[in-house]
Amino acid sequence: MIPIQELFIFILAALMLVITPGPNMIYLISRSITQGRGAGLISLAGIIAGFTFHVTMVSVGLTAVLFAVPFTYTTLKFLGVFYLLYLAFQAVNPKNQGIFETKTDLKEDKPAKLFSMGFLTSILNPKIAVFYLSFFPQFIKPEYGNIFWQSIQLGITQMTVSFTVNFLIVLFAARMSIWFAKNPFWVKIQKWFMASILTGLALRMALDKTK
């Protein structure tokens, strides 16, 4: 099992991932505001199903790669470092949308389409794939036990964080959108705070000398 202190750092990284604006977040909030909480929750179910697909593929792949080609750890490590720094830059880039600066002119769709769109948005989201491939190896160590099950533990942790945050956002999307629109100062604070945390995680990963 992965030590609790390492798991806490992973949870922080997963939290930064889920609150960083991307295809999943923008689609989910837009659906919740446009079509209501029910549509948002169905879309969220599709997104979580997509996470399950990613976790399964990455867990099987990492188990094979880390045993067969150990030096790939360094490549994955710095891929994660550069990706974190990219997310930090994107967080404060004035050209990018904020978390609640989303489309509200979507047409209403039936539950099956809402779920399938959430699923496809999730499995086709490069942010998730890069996060799994670059972050998982940083927390997986042979001395912690079976590599495959460590990957599953991290995957379940990430999905739990994502579901919890997104569930709350679906419930309060409309109110939060109005509040942030009236208080743009806090949007800037949120962006810079997120960028600072992402940069800190990148530095920790770059300086990590384990493995």
- State pLDDT tens for residues 108-160: 788 898 999 889 888 877 667 777 777 777 788 878 888 888 888 998 999 99
C-alpha of 143 from chain center: 27
Using pLDDT thresholds of 50, 70 and 90, give the confidence band for residue 82. confident
- Count of domains for the chain: 1
Average pLDDT of the chain, as a whole number: 77
Rounded distance between C-alpha atoms, residue 77 and residue 135, angstroms? 7
Q: How many helices (H) and strands (E) does the chain have?
A: 8, 0
Phi-psi region of 102 (alpha: psi -120 to 50; beta: other; left: phi over 0): beta
**CA Rg value for the chain:** 18
Domain range for 16 is: 4-207
168-184 burial string, b = 16+ CB within 10 Å, else e?
A: ebbeebbebbeebeeee
pLDDT at 69 (0 to 100) = 62
Distances (CA, A) of 147 to 24, 67, 119: 28, 9, 27
The identity of residue 21, as a single letter, is: P
Rounded distance between C-alpha atoms, residue 21 and residue 166, angstroms? 12
pLDDT at 159 (0 to 100) = 92
Rounded distance between C-alpha atoms, residue 2 and residue 162, angstroms? 19
Q: Which of 152, 145, 173, 132 is CA-nearest to residue 39? A: 173
CB atoms within 10 A of CB 121: 21
Length of the chain: 211
Model confidence, pTM: 0.71
Residue pLDDT, tens place only, 148-194:
888 889 989 999 999 999 898 888 876 776 776 677 776 677 677 76
